[in-house]
Amino acid sequence: MMVQAASQLDSLSNTVRRTNLFGPSVIRKRYSRRGRRNGYRLPLSRVLVETLLLDWLSKLIVAEREYLVIPRLIRLDGDQSALWMTDLGGVPLDQCLAAALPAPENFAAMGRVCARLEQSSGDIMLDVPRDTWTAQDGIRRDVIDRRIRNVTSEQTHLLAEFAEALSSPSVICLGDLCFANLLSCDGRIGMVDFEFAHVGHPGRDVGRVVAQLNAQAARDSVASRVFTRRSEALLTGFADCGGSIDHAQKWATILACYYSDSDPRGATVALQGRS
């Protein structure tokens, strides 16, 4: 029997509910067959993409179980319209006070997993869609250009950097790695919501989280060091397993600019750091 709809996993075109059909702490995530997100038509295979990533990540985080946790897949409905998985509980990081954030070691572990995912991309790349974030993607590139100009007049060299970072999708990205989909789970970071995984650009996942951590550090002078230490740990972990800090930092700036309408302070901080 379904109970009330209450989950950090809710998205525009999905329904996520807790259920006791398979026991306590189980979630059923139903995927809309049709829908749009940010103006782009959603692929019909999102349920299969998330199934694939849950299985793949379960292998990649074996060495990081002290620091990270992901949902365990229970079953896939026969018509491929819904996944059943364990409910991690926890509190999304965008609702956590600085003092309640997981430790820097957890962020370093997440950086290592992101790097390992990029390096293992060749094994699963054919099974996920390609991203639209390319230098030739007129819609998003125009948005980025416009929002950069809203916060700085010195954007020429930054646009050249962005063109390089956006040029060649070549690795698996989780696609929606952000505070809303990262949970504080009893001392570990819970990672959820992988339906938007895609063939994308190195450093993008880590860059998104770095941008959020840096913006939080700028907004909260009292707890600034708390966020900065976690940003540094995330980048260090990423680099320790072969990830490019340069790519991640470029993407942190790109994404800070892209989301500047809702977080202008984050964009200003990111651009100041690269000017």
Q: How far is CA 129 from the centre of its chain?
A: 16
CA atoms within 13 A on the CB side of 217: 20
**Which pair of structure tokens corresponds to residue 93?**
């990081």
Return the pLDDT at 41: 44
Query: Rg of the chain's alpha carbons, rounded to an integer?
Result: 18
Q: Is 54 exposed, middle or buried (0-12, 13-18, 19+ CB in 10 A)?
A: middle
Q: Is 50 exposed, middle or buried (0-12, 13-18, 19+ CB in 10 A)?
A: buried
Return the pLDDT at 261: 63
Return the pLDDT at 134: 53
Q: Where along the chain do its domains lie?
A: 89-274
| DSSP letters spanning 66-128 | TTEE-PPEEEE-TTSSEEEEE----EEGGG--GGGSPPHHHHHHHHHHHHHHHHTGGGTGGGS
Amino acid identity for residue 255 in this structure: L
Per-residue pLDDT of the chain (275 residues), as tens digits, is 222 333 333 333 457 777 766 666 888 888 765 544 444 444 447 788 888 899 999 999 999 999 999 999 998 887 777 889 999 989 999 999 899 999 999 999 999 999 999 998 777 665 677 765 554 455 566 776 776 666 665 555 666 666 666 666 688 899 899 999 999 999 999 999 998 888 888 999 999 999 999 888 888 888 999 999 999 999 999 999 999 999 999 888 888 877 766 666 666 666 665 55
Return the pLDDT at 94: 92
Instruction: Give the Cα separation of 195 and 183 in Å (integer).
Output: 17
8 A C-beta contact, residue 233 and residue 189: no
Return the pLDDT at 8: 34
Sign of the CA dihedral running 229, 233, 239, 243:
negative
Q: What is 89-274's CATH topology? A: Aminoglycoside 3'-phosphotransferase; Chain: A, domain 2 (3.90.1200)
Q: Calculate the alpha carbon distances from 125 to 49, 129, 198, 229 in Å.
A: 11, 8, 8, 33
